[in-house]
Amino acid sequence: MLHWGIILVGCAIVQSSLQATYYTVGDKWANVVQNPKHPQPLMQNSRWIINATNPHARIRVLCTDFRLAVSPPNSCKYAKVIFDDGVRKEVKCEAQWDLLVQGRSSSMSIELQVTPGGGGFLNCSAKQIAPPAEQEVIDLQPGEPVVRVAFPEVRGLDQLKVWKFRSASEDKISLQCTMGMEDRARSCDKCVKDILTIDAGEGPKQYCGSDKVVVISKEKEIKMRFETFPGTQAHIDCIAQGISGSDPNEYNNVKYSEEDSSEFGAVRGTKPTTCLCGISNKVMRMFEKIAEIS
């Protein structure tokens, strides 16, 4: 018996002709695969060709709806999708939760192959991944005020921004971020919609969800890239600063001298007084009080 995820369907006649649709994508997400007769499933072989506007970019595809007919034990017998970027092929079947496919070239072919009775529901978007033309450069050094980065000003949009934090001295820098983003996809445990990428000198690392991130640069630079998916309300709030020690907060790296407080009549401090007049004044006041009593 054939299933579409949790939906039970019967057999249908499959058209043998292969339909091809072409798309050109830039830095913004664009819908490239959908069911033209939704809520009816796709029941015919189909192909979508995606090209990036930047020949040096890589194509990224995200399918927010991916439910193909299955019939255990051969889950790919009735329907499968082949992602081909010219470097490698990935074959996906059954139901996937927020399926992310990261290509290795500036073009990608998405092909749905079905047999009689097969088909499914697909909704996929694509965009190109490339270094942005602009980035914000922020110079830091110990002793200067911390720099706060809060992004975006307007939430819920398809946005991308890149920062480069640089040390203006020979010291390292730290970056601390709190965030509100989509969690990792359950099917692959990866960040697929909202992605915060930080490279502190040991290679890029991706973050999402609501974790707090604290990093210290290996050398004198930290790069940060933040991508938001439409409608997710993703945002970050970060503090960057130059540091002279191993603590990410510079105030913990600075040693402050302690002043004596005994001459003011409080508990004696750890450092002895350096002001003789302070001691003399206290002694004089003590003798004056004794004289008054007498």
Residue 190 lies in a domain: yes
Residue 34 shares a structural domain with residue 125: yes
Residue 33 shares a structural domain with residue 57: yes
Total length of the chain: 294
Strands (E), 44-98: 46-52, 58-70, 79-84, 89-92, 95-96
Residue 269 lies in a domain: yes
Instruction: Tell me what pLDDT residue 211 has.
Output: 83
Residue 12 shares a structural domain with residue 122: yes
Residue 167 shares a structural domain with residue 186: yes
Residue 198 lies in a domain: yes
User: What is the value of pTM for the model shown?
Assistant: 0.78
Element (H, E) at 283: helix 276-293
Please identify, among 111, 129, 147, the residue that sits at the C-terminal boundary of a domain: 129
- How far is 163 from 196, CA to CA, in rounded Å? 11
Instruction: Tell me what pLDDT residue 241 has.
Output: 98
Instruction: Tell me what pLDDT residue 257 has.
Output: 64
In contact, 43 and 114? CB cutoff 8 Å: yes
Sequential pLDDT tens for the chain (294 residues): 444 443 333 333 334 456 689 999 999 999 999 988 888 899 999 999 999 999 999 999 999 999 998 777 777 889 999 999 999 999 999 998 899 999 999 999 999 999 988 899 999 999 999 988 899 999 999 999 999 999 999 999 999 999 999 999 999 999 999 999 999 988 788 999 999 999 999 999 999 999 899 999 999 999 999 999 999 999 999 999 999 999 999 999 998 766 555 555 555 555 555 555 554 555 455 445 545 554
Residue 257 lies in a domain: no
Element (H, E) at 75: none
Query: Which of these, 222, 229, 12, lies nearest to 115 by C-alpha position?
Result: 12
Centre a 10 Å sphere on the Cβ of residue 91 and count the other Cβ atoms it contains: 12
Residue 169 shares a structural domain with residue 287: no
Residue 152 shares a structural domain with residue 125: no
Per the DSSP assignment, residues forming a β-bridge with 100 are 62
Q: How far is CA 49 from CA 114, 206, 212, 216, in A?
A: 18, 28, 39, 42
N-to-C CA span, the chain: 111
Please give the tally of structural domains in the chain: 3
Residue 205 shares a structural domain with residue 272: no
Residue 140 shares a structural domain with residue 194: yes
Q: Give the domain CATH number at 9.
A: 2.60.120.290
Query: Which of these, 127, 191, 188, 189, lies nearest to 159 by C-alpha position?
Result: 127
In contact, 4 and 68? CB cutoff 8 Å: yes
HSE-up (13 A, CA, CB side) for residue 93? 16
Please identify, among 129, 146, 180, the residue that sits at the C-terminal boundary of a domain: 129
Please identify, among 82, 104, 129, the residue that sits at the C-terminal boundary of a domain: 129
Residue 156 lies in a domain: yes
Residue 175 shares a structural domain with residue 242: yes
The C-alpha angle 72, 75, 81, rounded to 5 degrees, equals 165
- What are 34's two structure tokens? 């959908």
Centre a 10 Å sphere on the Cβ of residue 158 and count the other Cβ atoms it contains: 16
Residue 145 shares a structural domain with residue 193: yes
Residue 96 shares a structural domain with residue 167: no
Instruction: Tell me what pLDDT residue 288 has.
Output: 58
Task: Supply the range of the domain harboring residue 269.
Answer: 262-293
Residue 98 shares a structural domain with residue 77: yes
Instruction: Tell me what pLDDT residue 187 has.
Output: 74
